[in-house]
Amino acid sequence: MISFLTGKIESIEQDSIIINVNGIGYLVHVPTYEKFERNDVTQTVYTYLYVREDRMVLYGFSTKKERDFFKILIDTPGIGPKVALKIISDMGAERFQYAVLSENITTISSIPGIGLKLAKKIILELKEKFKQIHIGQDTIVEEGRKEIISEGIEALKGLGYSEREAKKRILNVLEKIADQNSVKIEDLIRQALRK
């Protein structure tokens, strides 16, 4: 198995990158291209080689933790690599873990490729596994800030953003704010619009 690749990123697409390792270009599917930069600096991409009788696909991640989370997801019945990448790009490991542990079917089923039936199945399959894994402080803070998150999403939707894009922008801004308890809704929206 290819555990990681170290080289220069030659090109970046919406859902994949090409990394040049000693003159060989590897096509690697990634959850989000934003974590990778195309430049002359050598970068390490942690990979998972997905093998089926009709294809071999390399999936890449910016951290080992993200790759390990991907492995847990694809070992879950009903979750294939495409849905696993969607979970990581739309929610991230900690937020998805929190949604499973709190049995939040609505949040889980909002991910493209996951319906209500699969969401229930995922909770049954993963709840016990996730109890063994630490949830980060950011997730707990985020859950405690539901009101401001909801207001921010509604404001962006009013400006024409889709629910998914609005949610992604608001959560990305919140992750970068050190003191989340003192953030004002106006500042949150302003920063989300800048992104």
Residue range(s) occupied by CATH 1.10.8 in the chain: 145-194
The matching CATH number, chosen from 3.30.70, 2.170.240, 2.40.50, 1.10.8, for 145-194 is 1.10.8
190 CA to centre of own chain: 23
Q: Which residue has the higher pLDDT, 183 or 3?
A: 3
Cβ pair 166, 156 in contact under 8 A: yes
Neighbouring residues of 7: CB distance < 8 A, sequence distance ≥ 6: 19, 20, 21, 22, 26, 42, 43
pLDDT tens per residue across span 152-181: 888 888 899 888 888 888 877 876 665 556
Residue spans of alpha helices (H) in the chain: 64-74, 81-90, 93-101, 105-109, 116-131, 137-144, 146-158, 163-176, 185-194
178 CA to centre of own chain: 21
Fold of 4-61: OB fold (Dihydrolipoamide Acetyltransferase, E2P) (2.40.50)
Instruction: Determine the Cα–Cα distance for residues 141 and 146; give it in Å rounded to an integer.
Output: 9
pLDDT tens per residue across span 4-26: 999 999 999 888 999 999 999 99
Cβ pair 34, 42 in contact under 8 A: no
Residue range(s) occupied by CATH 1.10.150.20 in the chain: 71-136
Closest C-alpha to 75, from 107, 92, 50, 104: 50
Q: Tell me, what's the pLDDT at 177?
A: 67
CATH of span 71-136: 1.10.150.20
Euclidean distance between the first and the last CA atom of the chain, given in angstroms as a whole number: 37
pLDDT-derived band at 139 (thresholds 50, 70, 90) equals very low
Q: Tell me, what's the pLDDT at 40?
A: 80
Q: Please state whether beta strands 24-29 and 4-12 pair in parallel, antiparallel, or not at all (unpaired).
A: unpaired
Residue range(s) occupied by CATH 2.40.50.140 in the chain: 4-61
